[in-house]
Amino acid sequence: MRALLLCGGFATRLEPITYFIPKPLLPIGVGGKPIVEYILDDLVKSGVTDIVLSTNSKFSNAFEYWTKHRLNGIGADVSMVVEHTTGNHEKFGAIKGIEYAIEQGKIDEDLIIIAGDNLYDFSVKEILNYFNKSREPTIGLYDTKDLEGAKKFGNVELKGDVVASFVEKPEHPKSSLIAIAMYVIPKEMLGMFKDYLDDKNNPDGMGNFIAWLISKTEVKGFVFHGNWHDIGTLDTYKRVFDEYGKK
């Protein structure tokens, strides 16, 4: 199993702080620990130590500095794939970025894909154990317990543990379940990203890919229990920063 951390966004909603610091490297809690470092720690504890980090030209130096000065002794082999983009007007889009990282990183093993701004207190080992039972593509889910809150995210309807529908930011959610940008893809299906793009589909928005994928094959949904945070605005960043600072 390998991991792909998606850190190629520009987080314009968090400007001006993200003019200079990529969102995954924003500090959270005591000691200024970056968001992405919590994910990395969890991956290593879960037995995933071969990690590809995908970023852009604007922030590649920041991630290089982080890997050099923060990751000594962490027990992970972190390599980088850099998209040659410097702003939103040039960005690849999530799916094209994943396909590019798979190609450039020479990834040919089972793959867990995680957005580098995910902040949670559960463990990816749960979804990996679940995936290993069926080896079918599996997406990580979180229950907002609130239909209104589900409108802001990729909304998922499950039938048993199978994803029946996936709609980005729907006006009328079918459930309170949302996708948290965590996906496990078996190595045999990594080529599906290229197939999706070859069909001239939208290269951005992972929800578009999942909606397409469930028309091709069975996709499982795994619901995590615990705390998950979406740091999408300066207000939510401040709230989560204060919360983690008290732990």
Whole-number Å distance between alpha carbons of 154 and 81: 26
Q: From residue 147, how far is each of 49, 61, 171, 227 by CA, in Å?
A: 37, 40, 10, 18
- Hey, is 181 helix, strand or coil? strand
pTM of this structure: 0.95
Residue 6 structure tokens: 């998606």
- The pLDDT profile of the chain, 247 residues, written as one tens digit per residue, is 999 999 999 888 888 989 999 999 999 987 789 999 999 999 999 999 999 999 999 999 999 999 988 887 788 899 999 999 988 888 888 999 999 999 999 999 999 999 999 999 999 999 999 999 999 999 999 999 999 989 999 999 999 999 999 999 999 999 999 999 999 999 999 999 999 999 999 999 898 999 999 999 999 999 999 999 988 889 999 999 988 887 7
Structural domains in the chain, CATH included, are 2-245 (3.90.550.10)
